[in-house]
A and B are shown apart, each in its own frame.
Chain A
Amino acid sequence: MTASAPAPAPAAPAADERLAPVPLLRRLLGRPELGAVVGAAAVFLFFSFAADSFLRASSLSTVLYSASTLGIMAVPVALLMIGGEFDLSAGVMVTTSALVSSMFSYQMTANVWVGVLVSLLVTLALGFFNGYMLTRTKLPSFIITLGTFLMLTGLNLGFTKLITGTVSTKSIADMEGFPSARALFASQWTLGPVTLKVTVLWWAALVALATWILLRTRAGNWIFAVGGGADAARAVGVPVVRTRIGLYMGVALCAWISGQHILFSYDVVQSGEGVGNEFLYIIAAVIGGCLMTGGYGSAIGAAVGAFIFGMTSNGIVYAQWNPDWFKFFLGAMLLLATLLNAWVRKRAEAK
């Protein structure tokens, strides 16, 4: 029992009874997107039967368009949630970005591209502000971004009224650079019966980029680590502060894309818009498998979540139901998705 000499370590132990084989089904259940994909299939089947016009190609383009406008924001919000934080200011930040771009160009009578670039800088600064405040004060992101949300809501209305005298901006449609900016942010093509909006391309590109970052780069590894265990991450040398600020700036970047789309789809911006959209982004991310507590989720899941949103919001119209029911659907799906995620997490963390 208390042998005197240290002995060599044994070779690898033979078949270890502590490790049970993992069935394929359980592995699939371990994917964050699973709940969303199953949900999307169910919603698709449901509306295929409930609404005759749902399966038409033109309906598909409408569904894709609503999914893409939400999806462009749901992707960075999903990354942020995987990193363990919220951004309640994301919805109004989109409006802020559009307002800054529009009003700067109009007031300075500059090329609209100048306004677009100024808007990019301002929006990124807002994202940086969120991240910086969060990491410096160590207050919950809920409080910090709630503050930003309220401040931006006020600034949007206040500045717009101050500058234009009304609640919306002046039209910039006749200004220099408008056509080219519109081509980038709000163009569309007609392929037979399908109208494809450029936002769908932006959305697809962002999903691909976010997935690449999450799964194949060091930054992605850090995002998961910061959300799943910030102290452990710090202890092994992960730049936690930089990762968090970067995530908020990612949300800001996408808010800029989204804001420019809104501006160039029309040519004016309503200053009171965007309030409440932040919850839609979070819902899409959660339905897509992101954990509210961080450390788990995927960009593709958030995209599927946005697609479910697009199908539901338009499907109800095609089925000629009262759209009042839409919010009920959204709430029910959110609950179901959260329950599924909680269950997955329990299995993943089971000892």
Chain B
Amino acid sequence: MTPLVKLTGVSKSYGSIRALRDVSLEVSAGEITCVLGDNGAGKSTLIKIISGLHRHDSGTFEIDGEETELANPRAALDRGIATVYQDLAVVPLMPVWRNFFLGSEPTRGRGPLRRLDVDLMRRTTRSELLRMGIDLRDVDQPIGTLSGGERQCVAIARAVHFGAKVLVLDEPTAALGVKQSGVVLKYVAAARDAGLGVVLITHNPHHAHLVGDRFVLLKRGAMAGSHTRDSITLDELTRQMAGGSELDELSHELARVAQSGPQPPEPAGPAGTTAPPRDDTTR
């Protein structure tokens, strides 16, 4: 099957700064490709190339097997690539259904009677969210009253509804608590099951390993590894992500944890506590 999005040997420089060097990545329909890396590893640059904000300098960028250069984010959207940024692009004081259709509101009637199709908007919002497994009591509530995880899910559902084939998620779990992260990961999995290709950017190997099919590790702008789910364990992924000199420090830390019982090794996302949502999805 042709991958929906395939990057081969992509590089990008900003002036004299080489933000990305020779990075390859692919994502197919119904798959989740995780991009892992620490701060400054080049994750944001990679998203900006995929979502059409920046153009790559060298390498190839294929969509549906066809080499492309995206002129702007609109072009990316037209090719079915939707990006959900960390700020989510929602207006907190507006009701969920108005946010859902913001910028692409369906209308009925003509001329001066052209008006929002409010019924359709409400109904669609409810059903689309339900399809993603979010059961909102009231689509009229301001979106600001939803939790961070739910807002993330609405943003994902919106991208799915507007015909995204590839969903690029920029650290969807970064600002969330453990339980909320679980909820979001479930909806990421739901989007995958709906047949979308997902590029999940994260710095949390635990979250990545829960849902990912492929893993691309970035370090200081270069690829530090590319793996499929079968070829790597969580421990290995964590170790690779820590990598190099930091590895000693981490193993030291882990050793102490092993002695003192099941304490979380790092605040980002202990595997033990993110497990429950995964259990839900396997049931």
Assembly CA distance A228 to B189 (angstroms): 31
Tell me the total A-B contact number using a CB cutoff of 8 A. Answer: 135
Comparing A18-26, A39-47, A152-160, the segment that makes contact with chain B is A18-26
Say if the beta carbon of B18 comes within 8 Å of chain A.
no
A225 x B94 contact (CB < 8 A):
yes
* A236 CB contacts on chain B under 8 angstroms: 89, 102-104
Say if the beta carbon of B115 comes within 8 Å of chain A.
yes
Q: Helix, strand, loop or mixed for chain A's interface? A: loop
| Contact of A232 (CB < 8 Å), options: B91, B115, B118, B211 | B91
Residue of A nearest to B209 (CB): A2
Residue of A nearest to B135 (CB): A12
Question: Knowing A12-B135, A232-B91 touch, does A1 contact B186 (C-beta < 8 A)?
Answer: no
Question: Knowing A9-B133, A349-B145 touch, does A295 contact B283 (C-beta < 8 A)?
Answer: no
Number of residues on chain B facing chain A (CB within 8 A): 59
Within 183-199 of A, Cβ neighbours of B (below 8 Å) are at none
Say if the beta carbon of A65 comes within 8 Å of chain B.
no
* B271 CB contacts on chain A under 8 angstroms: 1-2
Encode A221-236 as 1/0 by CB contact (under 8 A) with B. 1001100110111011
B186 x A10 contact (CB < 8 A):
yes
Say if the beta carbon of A28 comes within 8 Å of chain B.
no
B92 x A216 contact (CB < 8 A):
no
Assembly CA distance A228 to B90 (angstroms): 9
| Contact of B116 (CB < 8 Å), options: A1, A3, A216 | A216
B145 x A232 contact (CB < 8 A):
no
B91 x A7 contact (CB < 8 A):
no
Say if the beta carbon of B275 comes within 8 Å of chain A.
yes
A295 x B94 contact (CB < 8 A):
yes
Assembly CA distance A264 to B250 (angstroms): 82
Question: Knowing A224-B94, A229-B92, A237-B104 touch, does A4 contact B230 (C-beta < 8 A)?
Answer: yes
Assembly CA distance A13 to B137 (angstroms): 12
B105 x A9 contact (CB < 8 A):
no
Within 45-100 of A, Cβ neighbours of B (below 8 Å) are at none
Residue of B nearest to A2 (CB): B234
* B225 CB contacts on chain A under 8 angstroms: none
Encode B57-90 as 1/0 by CB contact (under 8 A) with A. 0000000000000000010000000000101111
Number of residues on chain A facing chain B (CB within 8 A): 42
Assembly CA distance A316 to B94 (angstroms): 39
Say if the beta carbon of A16 comes within 8 Å of chain B.
yes
A238 x B102 contact (CB < 8 A):
yes
B91 x A233 contact (CB < 8 A):
yes
Assembly CA distance A351 to B135 (angstroms): 17
Assembly CA distance A323 to B271 (angstroms): 71
Say if the beta carbon of A108 comes within 8 Å of chain B.
no
| Contact of A9 (CB < 8 Å), options: B89, B103, B114, B186 | B186
Nearest first, the 3 A-B pairs at minimum CB distance are A236-B103, A237-B103, A9-B190
19 interchain pairs (CB within 8 A)? A1-B272, A1-B275, A2-B278, A6-B213, A10-B280, A12-B135, A212-B115, A224-B93, A229-B91, A231-B87, A232-B87, A236-B102, A237-B104, A291-B93, A348-B142, A349-B92, A349-B144, A349-B145, A351-B145
- B contact set with A: CB distance below 8 Å: 32, 74, 85, 87-94, 98, 101-105, 107, 114-116, 118, 130, 133-138, 141-142, 144-145, 147-148, 150, 186-187, 189-190, 192-193, 209-211, 213, 229-230, 233-234, 271-272, 275, 278-283
